[in-house]
């Protein structure tokens, strides 16, 4: 079956590039003025450091190709005569970029980094060199956060160098100033250590010092295993506050108690937390699914509300004498046709409007009875409803409309797509771009919801699917029954694969079939499973029923969600 690549969920990657093992290149430039004035670079100085040790230095004058203003000479001591024999910037750049190693994971550091980085990016672009876009650390805002004004009068490089007792004094010469910045950087990193910041990611995310609660409750992470799994923050009563997942439980939970955690609601949650419960998982898919199930079961208040399964919206074609399209929150075992779930009620309304434009279904909510006649609404006069309420349309004729809507939702989408795209083109040709854009959005919502329902339905029909993916520690093997993750395990190298799979299948959860596109698992869980099955390296081990999606289903027309961008320029 051709699987649709689904949007990726949040990564399981953890913070963890140690500062002690990070290579920094500290850069300083001298120039003839600002870039806005068309200034050029007169000198480059750089120092490579790692773990407090200087690895190398780079320094050279540069011929800027423009006159040096007298006030710049007075400030830096660099004269026109000094730079006249110096190489031009296009000759210096290759040597500097090679020394800096910015394309090899080196972190660029500067005091007032936007100035230096702006010049370097501009000269690279001007002379055909690709800017490697390295991570950047600016010591100015970092010093403002770590060194209060009651310690220093300002945060200039000279002031900070004197305050920290840096032996290299800034002189407005590039290499001297780069050396002084190295001393300031090391002093700032020492202060960061007292806040629990010991990785590059935490350094770059540092905004404010950790709260007293964060520092006091770091003990909650001390007994966390360094294993993949799910963690649950709980309050004193044992109620869940927050649920998350990680490849390394200890490091991820520890990050909540450092300065890198700046989210206001999370800091508020930490103040309430009294324990963190770890749940070790064998595979990444198990961790993702357990997280979703725990969020659905325990409803932790500090997880995103959008992950609340109760907020899902479905589009339902009702089962009654004259079916209609309705927005519902639950899928029932009532034989009705369901499409979705949609991301929001608004998206479901757009999908319903798309079908109403093509199929003349009734939009009223009346219960028809021969003894209680109903007067037809304005839609009948507009030709958008056959007025079955007044008996103008027989149940048999109306059933043909309902059947067409059901086919569009379950797998035969072509007629609806042709009708809507044709109407969009007509509106565009008449320069009615706003109306064309509205119909385009409705079509995109219909295709998204129907495609999601068709993918989920195809997976839910499978009594059993067994698949595996090779990982660093062995093969991750998963058993999926009717869309629900029924069992998973890690098969280590040297294990008998037949015995392992047989044991996993025999001990997997029993899952009976059920109604609707997502009968035995939440739609979010099923999409996690689909995303894992669609990931590189997955191999099907056992499949007892053909796995198919409709040939003319909504996924066939997925490209139409970006349909004809020039058709509605007013919306772009």
Tokens matching residue 298: 């325990």
Q: Which position among 172, 186, 357, 423 bears the catalytic label?
A: 172
- Answer yes or no: are the C-beta atoms of 66 and 32 closer than 8 Å: yes
User: Terminal CA-to-CA distance of the chain, rounded, Å?
Assistant: 35
Catalytic annotation present for 172: yes
Tokens matching residue 191: 């202060």
Decide: helix, strand or coil at residue 96. helix
- Answer yes or no: are the C-beta atoms of 340 and 313 closer than 8 Å: yes
- Answer yes or no: are the C-beta atoms of 230 and 244 closer than 8 Å: yes
Under DSSP, the state recorded for 472 is S
User: Under the phi-then-psi rule, with left for phi > 0, alpha for psi from -120 to 50, and beta for the rest, what region is 205?
Assistant: alpha
- Tracing tokens 């009702």 back to the chain, one arrives at 318
Under DSSP, the state recorded for 372 is B
- Answer yes or no: are the C-beta atoms of 35 and 78 closer than 8 Å: no
The CA-CA-CA angle for residues 137, 139, 145, to 5°, reads 110
Task: Give the contacts of 138 (CB within 8 A, at least 6 positions apart).
Answer: 109, 110, 111, 112, 113, 114
Rounded Cα distance, 182 and 184, in Å: 5
The full DSSP string for 198-230 is -BHHHHHH--SPPPHHHHHGGGGGTT--SSSEE
Decide: helix, strand or coil at residue 561. helix
Rounded Cα distance, 569 and 138, in Å: 40
Provide the pairing of β-strand 107-110 with 136-138: parallel
Handedness of CA 215, 220, 223, 224 (dihedral sign): negative
Rounded Cα distance, 373 and 384, in Å: 20
Rounded Cα distance, 112 and 116, in Å: 7
How deeply is 395 buried, as exposed, middle or buried, from its count of CB atoms within 10 A (0-12, 13-18, 19+)?
A: exposed
- Angstrom distances, CA of residue 397 to CA of 305, 400, 403, 454: 44, 5, 10, 27
- Give me the active site residues, please: 172
């Amino acid at each position: 079956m051709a699987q649709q690549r689904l949007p990726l969920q949040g990564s399981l990657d953890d913070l963890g590039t140690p500062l002690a093992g990070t290579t920094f290149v500290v850069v300083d430039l001298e120039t003839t003025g600002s870039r806005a004035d068309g200034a050029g670079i007169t000198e480059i100085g750089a120092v490579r450091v790692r773990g407090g040790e200087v690895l190398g230095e780079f320094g050279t004058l540069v011929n800027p190709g423009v006159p040096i203003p007298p006030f710049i000479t007075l400030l830096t001591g660099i004269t026109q005569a000094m730079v006249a024999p110096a190489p031009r910037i296009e000759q210096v750049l290759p040597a500097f970029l090679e020394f800096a190693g910015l394309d090899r994971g080196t972190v660029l550091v500067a005091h007032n980094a936007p100035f230096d980085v702006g010049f370097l990016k501009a000269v690279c672009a001007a002379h055909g060199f690709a800017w490697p876009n390295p991570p950047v650390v600016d010591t100015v805002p970092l010093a403002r956060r770590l060194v209060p004004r009651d310690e220093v009068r300002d945060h200039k490089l000279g002031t900070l160098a004197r305050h920290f007792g840096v032996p290299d004094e800034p002189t407005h010469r590039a290499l001297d100033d780069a050396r002084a910045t190295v001393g300031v950087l090391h002093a700032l990193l020492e202060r960061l250590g007292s806040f629990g910041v010991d990785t590059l990611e935490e350094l770059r995310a540092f905004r404010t010092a950790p709260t007293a609660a964060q520092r006091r409750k770091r003990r909650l992470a001390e007994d966390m295993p360094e294993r993949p799994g799910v963690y649950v923050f709980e309050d004193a009563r044992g109620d869940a506050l927050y649920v998350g997942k990680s490849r390394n439980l200890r490091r991820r939970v520890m990050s909540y108690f450092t300065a890198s955690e700046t989210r206001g609601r999370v800091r508020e949650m930490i103040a309430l937390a009294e324990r963190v419960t770890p749940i070790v998982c064998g595979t990444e898919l198990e961790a993702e699914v357990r997280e979703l199930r725990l969020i659905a079961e325990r409803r932790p208040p500090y997880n995103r509300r959008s992950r609340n399964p109760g907020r899902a919206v479905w589009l339902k074609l009702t089962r009654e004498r004259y079916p209609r399209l309705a927005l519902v929150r639950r899928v029932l075992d009532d034989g009705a046709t369901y499409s979705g779930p949609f991301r929001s009620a608004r998206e479901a309304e757009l999908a319903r409007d798309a079908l109403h434009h093509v199929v003349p279904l009734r939009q009223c909510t009346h219960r028809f009875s021969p003894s209680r006649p109903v007067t037809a609404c304005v839609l009948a006069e507009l030709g958008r409803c056959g007025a079955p309420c007044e008996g103008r349309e027989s149940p048999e004729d109306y059933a043909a409309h309902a059947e067409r809507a059901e086919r569009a939702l379950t797998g035969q989408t072509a007629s609806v797509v042709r009708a809507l795209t044709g109407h969009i083109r007509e509106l565009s040709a008449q320069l009615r771009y706003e109306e064309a854009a509205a119909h385009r959005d409705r079509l995109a919502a219909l295709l998204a919801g129907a495609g999601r329902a068709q993918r989920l339905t195809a997976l839910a029909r499978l009594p059993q699917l067994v698949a595996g993916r090779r990982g660093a520690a062995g093969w991750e093997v998963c058993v999926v029954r009717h869309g629900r993750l029924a069992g998973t395990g890690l098969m280590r190298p040297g294990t008998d694969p037949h015995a392992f799979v047989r044991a996993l299948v025999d001990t997997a959860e029993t899952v009976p079939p059920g109604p609707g596109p997502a009968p035995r698992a939440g739609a979010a869980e099923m999409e996690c499973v689909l995303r894992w099955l669609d990931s590189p390296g997955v191999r099907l081990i056992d499949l007892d029923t053909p796995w198919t999606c409709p040939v003319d289903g909504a996924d066939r027309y997925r490209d139409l969600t970006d349909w004809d961008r020039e058709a509605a320029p007013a919306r772009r």
